[in-house]
Each structure stands twice: as C-alpha cells, then as structure tokens.
C-alpha cells in the first residue's frame, strides 16, 4: 500500500520539475512512510511513497521491466500475482524482485492495456511506456484505491490524493457550483467529479491513456446481474459461497508483515475473521471502537465475544466528544473530499490503534451489505414496491393508510406516504437525492442568488438516474445493489476507508469486495439475498455454524458514532461558532439566516443532524482547500 503521483507534459521538450514532483510526494508521505522513489525521463515524472507490505527488501518503486523501457508506480495489492508471475516466467520474463508490482510491467509487455483485466486485487497505478511515449493510468474494478487527475491543457497531472495535484501552480482551485449542489444532494460526490473544477476521479473499473497529446478514458469492467446457465439451489449456493470466501480471505492474508482484523462485532467482520484464523498460524490482532458516555450503542461486547471465540489478541479504544471535535480539521485534511461520514472519524482512531500495535494490514468486512443486500433500505423499498403492485390503481388507499399510521405516532410512515405515487428511482433516492430530504427542501432558502443562478436547469440527481436506466430490466433489489456498488460504495464508503486508514499508514483490505464475490452474488436470484425481513440470507447461511448466532441475528448498527448528541451538547458552541462565524466561507454560497435556522432546529432536536454535520465539514474544507495555498501545510501547521 502506497501513494503515487506524477506528471506528463504534452510538450515533450519540457522535463518535469523535480522540486514539484518531490513536493507532491511529500504531501502524501503518510501513505508511504517507509521509503520514496522517483523516475523522470523526458516529459514524464513518476513519484512513489512506500508502505512496505510485500517484499520488504527489494520492492522499492518506481519499478521497471528488464530493459527499463516500461516503468510503473503502483498503490495496492495484486492477490493473484504469484499465479501471474508463473505464467510470465514461462513466457521468458525475468524477475528482479518477489513483489507483486513487477508483475504489472511484464503483463503489460505481453498484453498491453488488457493487463488490468488479469489483475485481481485493489490497485491504482501509472505506467509509462518509454518506447511509445505513452501513459496508462488504471484503477481497480470496485474503486478500493483512489486515483485523481487533472488536464491543464499543457500537462496531465495525477496522484493518489487531491492535495498532491494542488501542489502544481497550474491547478486552479475553483469550486464548481454544480458539484457543490450535487454534494449537498448526496452528501458525497458520485461519479468522476470532485468539488474542484478540472480535477476528476478516475472511476472504478476504468483506465486512462495519453499518447500524442490525446487522452482517452475507457471502462474495462462492469457488474452484471445475470443468472448462471445452470441455476444452483440455495443450499448449493451456500456451499459455493463458503468455498469462495475461504479462498478469497486466504488470498487477502498474503503479507510479509502482521495482519489484523477490524472487528465491529457484526456479521461481515466476524465472518471475515472466522476465515482468517484458518489461514494463519500466527496470532491475529483484532481492533474495535466504543464511545464514552451513556445511552450510546456499544458494539464492544459483540466484538469481544467474537475475539474470545476465535482466540485473537483484542484491542479496544474509546472515543470522546473532545477527540471527535479535535480531529475534525485533520479529518477534512485527510479526506480531501467533504464526505459526510462521522463513522470515518471513528475509523481513524481504530486504525491508529492498529498502527500503535505495529499491525500494518487490517482486513475489514466492508462490502457485504452491497454484495448480498444488508441494508434495511433494501428490505423496506422491496416491501413498498410489493404493496404498490398489490394495490394497483388503488394506491391512494395505501397512501391514506400510511398517513393514518403517521398520525397515530408512527412518524416514519409519512415518508412512505409521499413515495406511494412515485417510481423506484425516487424511492431509492429518497435517502438523499430527492425532494423529501431536508437539503432539497431547503435549497431555495439556503442558496444565495449567485449560486441559484449558476444552477439554472441543472439536475443534481442525474448520475444515479443514468445508472438506474442501465439496469431497468433487473429486479428491484438488483437495481438498488447496482447503483450502490457504482456510487455509494466507491465514492463514500471506500474513499473513507482508504483515506482514514492511510492517514495512519495502515493498509485496509476488503475481501468481500473481491470482484469474484461480487460477480457470484450478482448471479444469485434476489430472494437468495433478501426474503421477507431477512437480509443477507445466503451470506448468513454460509457463516452459520462458525459465527455465533447472537451475532448472526443481531440488528445491524454500523459504526454508531453519537455525533448528534455531541453536536447538540458538548460541541454546541463549536458548531455554532464554526457555522456562524462572521468570516464563514459558507456565506459565499448560502444565506446566513438559513444556516442559523438549520442549526437552531438541530439544537431543538428537530432532526437535520446530517445536514448540520455536512455544512460543518464543508466550512472546514473551504477553509483548508479553497483558500490560500499555504493551507497545503495541513491543519494546525
């Protein structure tokens, strides 16, 4: 696990500035504190920061082929590298190292850009073909590893993190009005956008090439929900999944340094742990988080129970409101994109616990929900669609019934009453991107005239609507799983997972997001995943007998950070001062009165927690990244 950066000047007469390249590398030193390397030749410069995981002695980068005509800088892990190495050696390639990195350059020599289709793992890499004067950037299928780029018109600049791009004076820090609106619609940015105009994410399952000044982005993988030719029974699918889980977790255990498990005490992380202990004779360390105070959901008893069952060396850390508040500026600095994910703060402290225990690699259960249908939203919207079909033309009666339930105290049914007359896309997007969420209801009063004018005719929910159009012939559940896998997963959950663990120089691996598992899950019928009120049905069946029943049957909680209570009590003054400061950057875009109204409603307990936290993060982000260039020294420096 590492950090990469680089630049390609389109004018092949101009070399890359060595000082710039080293500055870019310095800004991502946390991703690779164990070493650095650079390659400059003609118009290209490649930079690398190394976190040593595999081949500790000879795995330094940039790395080349035998004659130095192909060079690569790479971030990630290729889990099938030994198999690929054997094939390449049979073809006559000579290896200088035992690292997975070297496989990429030799595989490229054999099959060119199609090398990405043979790589199984998490990766982002930049490869320079000296003979052809050609640059290849690639990102893994699911988007576990990030990669950003910008075309200045004179050069292409790229890096694992945005801050490296901002080191180049040619990169302007213009906040895009439409991207800002889209961020306040989803609470993250789906697709290839960032909040900066001209800075983009290379999307998962895509690669980018530059040759003769021409840039081309192509997709090489997409998730397809297609039933297998011979439909397996449910029991046969359970057996096949057990074998696949065992092989996949074993592959993810490959490391020359200690491996631990991020243990929440939920089904997914405990399931990963249950397979991890089978494939090592070394002690496994597990790490979990709790929160100081009363009345908070606490996952530590479940995590401790799983630790005791599987005989791990267990570590716990407790987070306070003060720790949460003091870390927020650093949270924004490391995240770089104002993603509204309070659990990401908790993840940082858990990863720090692993770092302090000298554990460089953590396995996580991330992805089980998106692969096998683990969110209550899936179940609720499936039920709503079933009811709508049952009522047919009489859907008005269904709406009336929901309204009646809301009036007698079941307030959540008011939301479903609103949705009875809309389509699946609107149901699904009602979590964030719909007229029913607070920001979208408030935008007319929140946005100032300049921002509103810039958004004339703009549809903020276009990215997910386009994705729904691609799978409109699929079942209801599979439509939702597809959209989540292409947006919510890479652009919110995985960016959080990467940035927060790499901030502590720890590598996070996600076995349940191996593309073989995703494709297997996609091949199963809907009711193997969600049936009635049962979520992740086939996964839970596969883990039954190894994962304790108390964990299999427990209600999903996620990382329940009590930020709502903290922001209304211990952090009340901090929230008020940050959002309503007379020099607040938010006033460039929003009405001060509307912000005050939102904060007041939150303090009264009238909801809006996510919206207030979102504005809080945005204000800190604007101060750090949209201001003077001196902010690149980091928060508090």
Angle at 177 between CA 174 and CA 182, to 5 degrees: 120
What is residue 545's predicted lDDT score, i.e. its pLDDT?
Answer: 86
What is residue 256's predicted lDDT score, i.e. its pLDDT?
Answer: 82
Q: With b meaning 16 or more CB within 10 Å and e meaning fewer, what string describes 382-413?
A: bebbeebeeeeeeeeebbebbeebbeeeeeeb
Helix (H) or strand (E) holding 534: none
- At 291, list the tokens: 């929160």
Residues labelled as active-site residues: 2
What is residue 355's predicted lDDT score, i.e. its pLDDT?
Answer: 94
| E strand residue ranges, 472-542 | 507-509
Q: Classify residue 294 as exposed, middle or buried by CB count within 10 Å of its CB (0-12, 13-18, 19+).
A: exposed
Whether the Cβ atoms of residue 176 and residue 451 lie closer than 8 Å to each other: no
Report the distance separating Cα 411 and Cα 110, nearest Å: 61
Per-residue pLDDT tens digits for 465-509 = 999 999 999 998 999 999 999 999 999 999 999 999 999 999 999
H helix intervals, 294-375: 300-310, 321-335, 342-356, 368-372
536: left (phi over 0), alpha (psi -120 to 50) or beta: left
Average pLDDT of the chain, as a whole number: 90
User: Can you say whether the dihedral through the CA atoms of 501, 505, 506, 510 is positive or negative?
Assistant: positive
What is residue 434's predicted lDDT score, i.e. its pLDDT?
Answer: 45
What is residue 311's predicted lDDT score, i.e. its pLDDT?
Answer: 94
Going from the C-alpha of 394 to that of each of 403, 420, 427, the distances in angstroms are 15, 10, 18
Q: Can you list the domains of the chain with their CATH numbers?
A: 2-219 (3.60.20.10), 234-372+494-552 (3.40.50.620), 376-485 (no CATH), 563-633 (no CATH)
Report the distance separating Cα 129 and Cα 109, nearest Å: 9
Grouped pLDDT means (10 residues each) for the chain, 637 residues? 92 90 96 93 95 73 93 95 96 92 96 97 97 97 98 96 96 94 91 96 98 94 79 92 96 89 92 94 91 73 91 93 95 92 93 94 95 91 84 82 78 76 73 54 84 90 91 92 95 96 95 97 94 94 92 77 91 94 88 92 87 93 76 64
Report the distance separating Cα 84 and Cα 88, nearest Å: 6
What is residue 12's predicted lDDT score, i.e. its pLDDT?
Answer: 79
What is residue 270's predicted lDDT score, i.e. its pLDDT?
Answer: 95
What is residue 65's predicted lDDT score, i.e. its pLDDT?
Answer: 93
């Amino acid at each position: 696990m590492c950090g990469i950066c680089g630049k390609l000047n389109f004018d092949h007469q101009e070399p890359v500035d060595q000082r710039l390249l080293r500055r870019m590398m310095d800004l991502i030193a946390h991703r690779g504190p164990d070493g650095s390397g650079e390659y400059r030749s003609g118009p290209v410069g490649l930079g690398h920061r190394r976190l040593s995981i595999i081949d500790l002695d000879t795995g330094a980068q940039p790395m080349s082929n035998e004659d130095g005509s192909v060079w690569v800088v790479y971030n990630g892990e290729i889990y099938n590298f030994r198999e690929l190495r054997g094939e390449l050696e049979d073809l006559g390639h000579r290896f200088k190292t035992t690292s997975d990195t070297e496989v990429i350059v030799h595989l490229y020599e054999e099959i060119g850009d199609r090398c990405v289709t043979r790589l199984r793992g998490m990766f982002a890499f930049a490869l320079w073909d000296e003979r052809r004067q050609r640059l290849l950037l690639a990102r893994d299928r699911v988007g576990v590893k990030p990669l950003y780029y910008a075309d200045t018109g004179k050069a292409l600049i790229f890096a694992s993190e945005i801050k490296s791009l901002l080191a180049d004076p040619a990169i302007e820090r213009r906040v895009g009005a439409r991207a800002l609106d889209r961020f306040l619609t989803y609470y993250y940015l789906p697709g290839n956008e960032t909040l900066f105009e001209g800075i983009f994410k290379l999307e998962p399952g895509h690669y980018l090439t530059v040759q003769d000044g021409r840039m081309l982005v192509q997709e090489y993988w997409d998730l397809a929900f297609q039933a297998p030719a011979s439909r397996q029974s449910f029991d046969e699918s359970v057996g096949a999944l057990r074998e696949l889980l065992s092989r996949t977790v074993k592959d993810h255990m490959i490391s020359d340094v200690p491996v631990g498990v991020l243990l929440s005490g939920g089904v997914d992380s405990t399931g990963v742990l249950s397979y991890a202990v089978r494939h090592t004779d070394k002690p496994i360390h597990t790490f979990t988080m709790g929160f100081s105070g009363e009345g908070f959901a606490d996952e530590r008893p479940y995590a401790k129970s799983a630790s005791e069952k599987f005989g791990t060396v267990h570590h716990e850390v407790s987070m306070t409101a003060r720790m949460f508040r003091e870390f927020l500026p650093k949270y924004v600095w490391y995240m770089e994109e104002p993603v509204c994910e309070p659990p990401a703060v908790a993840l940082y402290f858990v990863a720090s616990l692993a770092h302090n225990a000298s554990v460089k690699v953590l396995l996580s259960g991330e992805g089980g929900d998106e692969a096998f249908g683990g969110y209550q939203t899936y179940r609720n919207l499936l039920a709503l669609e079933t009811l709508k079909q049952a009522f047919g033309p009489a859907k008005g009666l269904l709406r009336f019934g929901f309204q009646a339930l809301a009036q007698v105290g079941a307030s959540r049914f008011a939301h479903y009453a609103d949705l009875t007359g809309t389509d699946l896309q609107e149901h699904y997007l009602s979590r964030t991107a719909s007229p029913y969420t607070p920001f979208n209801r408030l935008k007319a009063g929140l946005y100032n005239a300049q921002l509103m004018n810039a958004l004339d005719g703009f549809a903020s929910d276009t990215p997910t609507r386009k994705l729904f159009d691609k799978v409109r012939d699929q079942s209801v559940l599979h439509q939702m799983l597809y959209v989540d896998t292409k947006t919510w997963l890479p652009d919110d959950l995985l960016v959080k997972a990467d940035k927060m663990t790499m901030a502590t120089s720890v590598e996070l691996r996600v076995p349940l997001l191996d593309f073989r598992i995703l494709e297997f899950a996609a091949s199963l019928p809907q009711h193997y995943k969600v049936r009635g009120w049962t979520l992740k049905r086939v996964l839970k069946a596969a883990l039954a007998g190894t994962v304790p029943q108390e964990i299999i049957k427990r209600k999903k909680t996620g990382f329940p950070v009590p930020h709502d209570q903290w922001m209304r009590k211990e952090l009340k003054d901090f929230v008020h001062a940050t959002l309503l400061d007379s020099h607040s950057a938010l006033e460039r875009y929003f009405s001060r009165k509307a912000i005050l109204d939102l904060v007041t409603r939150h303090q009264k307990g009238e909801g809006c927690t996510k919206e207030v936290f979102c504005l809080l993060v945005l204000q800190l982000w604007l101060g750090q990244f949209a201001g003077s260039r001196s902010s690149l020294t980091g928060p508090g420096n």
